Each structure stands twice: as C-alpha cells, then as structure tokens.
Amino acid sequence: MRPSMNQEIFNIGLSTEAISVYLLCCSLEDEGKAVSMENLMDIWNSTKQALIQSLDDLEQRNILRKTISDMADNIVYQLTDVHTWDMKRR
C-alpha cells in the first residue's frame, strides 16, 4: 500500500494550518483509521475553529470530501486523488 500523502500539497498556496491538517489526514489514512473530526481532534494541537477552517479550505480545493456528516460533529472525510485537486494558487 502506498502512502496517501502527495507532495503537491506544498505547491498550491495553502496555509500552514491546512497543510498540517492534510498531513494529519494522510497519517490517519495510512494507519487505517477513519479521517474523522473525532480522530483529528485527538491529534490536533490548535483550536477547533482552526481545524474546522483548515478542513473547509481543503474541501474547497477538493483535497478532502465529506463522506458522512451529522449534527453531532460526527464527520468523516475521504482524501481525493491529486488529479481532482483545485491547483490554482490563492
């Protein structure tokens, strides 16, 4: 199984926080764990708001997509293929 992290993440103009969240998502996926809000909160070392903003940024760039979401913050994400990413620098 190949690692999920793609080096392009460093070249598309994302914030340091968004890149950090991406790397955490890749780590979870590589460990066979769900890329969920709960699992991310367990390893995230900043505020919940910063995590949410970074996840939103990754979703807007089509790097992550929600696969499950409910009203109780039970959100699960899936990493997308690099070929579907919005690569425009912002």
pLDDT tens for residues 2-36?
567 999 999 999 999 999 999 999 999 999 999 99
**CA dist 77 → 61, 89, 90 (Å):** 14, 23, 23
Residue type, 45: N
| pTM of the entire predicted model | 0.90
DSSP annotation of 80 reads P
Report the amino acid identity of residue 90.
R
Higher pLDDT, 89 or 16: 16
- Tracing tokens 């590589």 back to the chain, one arrives at 30
Rounded Cα distance, 66 and 64, in Å: 7
Dump pLDDT digits (tens) for 36-84.
Answer: 999 999 999 999 999 999 999 999 999 999 998 766 667 999 999 999 9
CA atoms within 13 A on the CB side of 36: 14
